[in-house]
Structure 1
């Protein structure tokens, strides 16, 4: 039997990182949380509140940080690159301050140039940030996207060149988003689809799966459309999530929902995942 994974969700932190985060965690029945430590749709970097940081750290809650959506270390625009480097460094430092287990970063886009050029740039600017992470700091978790545009990582196989560009750095992990993987062409709803995806991930990035974003999909497999749906209400279906928790590659790996709706729907999603976990 696979190790029992903790289940939680992304929570808002209005009122303070600990005050808001812990209250919202309780309201949806989460066992782990993911938070933003800066504006997710901007470049402003918040210094944080040491008292809130200490309270969250002392609570002993497994916490993940998600970097802002604008981050793209593969961008050919010098301004975007500079701000992306600053944002990733800031999020890693803030993650260390709150005792986070990992900092999730979208793998970025080549925009209007070759994948090779973009990966060379990522190597140049990301390796120094990885070397700055303290021994007790968070790992950086690469999150492949749904495959739209010139995204550098969508399928599991895309992670191979990305990890190679980073010399398979020991502080790099993977965050697999089920909606993204499905949209990119991994048919998690098909018989054996979950096993095939996780087996492929193990071949490319053995031991690096640190977080699962558990999201159903509004759109069909291979759509390249990143539209999350509540668990069991989309094209992936609830059975795939049970298979995910059962697979040895995902044994004990936390699941974090990023599904639509408010606290009521989020609580229902988490309760459903817990029910599936109990049946393992």
Structure 2
């Protein structure tokens, strides 16, 4: 069995040169400022086509982390609707260079919301999205009202989205911060989601 091993390098203008220099066969990149609502864009000169050609020539799998501002679970229309649009735009841009997957945070509701509303928003979100690239939802480190922090929350989230074709990204640091036992993390998450698409370690 072979593994893809790399690093998260942000909005690097030439991620493939970075991968070659450090011997990585996969990378996670951002398509711009991850704290912004701006339209996603590739920093590499030549854009998505140049990145696609360079990645294929080097044999490097590229993952994208969606902007941190995205909150598909939100009950606030002014957050949820733009979140869906930005996530779709990120998926579409990632698809242009054959990204191996787009990682997005599980999001959260507020203390005044029923968590079920957040899971329902996720269900609606993934059924309306066009998965032009693979989509992986990542577990959260903190937040009492997060949709993906505890095992119970992840279970509820997967009941809402598990049949839609999305995958799960496990962040071991987030899991540790949330109090999940790392010794059985892989087995526990696979029991909930069926498989693990990507690991942040």
TM over 0.5: yes
Long gaps (5+) in structure 2? none
Q: Please, what is the CA RMSD of the aligned residues?
A: 1.8
Which 4+ stretches in 1 moved above 6 angstroms?
A: none
Distance (whole Å) between structure 2 residues aligned to residue 149 and residue 25 of structure 1: 37
Q: What is residue 11 of structure 1 aligned with on the other side?
A: 9
Distance (whole Å) between structure 2 residues aligned to residue 56 and residue 114 of structure 1: 46
The number of equivalent residue pairs is: 195
Matched, 1:211 2:198: yes
Instruction: Tell me: higher relative CO, structure 1 or 2? Use CA pairs within 8 A at least 6 residues apart.
Output: 1
Distance (whole Å) between structure 2 residues aligned to residue 51 and residue 125 of structure 1: 28
SS in 2 for 1:72: coil
Distance (whole Å) between structure 1 residues aligned to residue 122 and residue 200 of structure 2: 24
Distance (whole Å) between structure 2 residues aligned to residue 121 and residue 206 of structure 1: 22
Shift of 1:159: 2.0
Matched, 1:64 2:69: no
- Equivalent residue in structure 1 for 2:151, among 156, 172, 180: 156
| Larger gyration radius, structure 1 or structure 2 | 1
Cα pair 1:62 1:100 within 8 Å, conserved = yes
Shift of 1:167: 5.0
Cα pair 2:11 2:33 within 8 Å, conserved = no
- The residue correspondences of 1:40-119 to structure 2 (distance < 5 A) are 40-48=34-42, 49-59=47-57, 60-112=59-111, 113-119=113-119
TM-score with structure 1 length normalisation?
Answer: 0.65
Long gaps (5+) in structure 1? 215-280
Shift of 1:8: 0.5
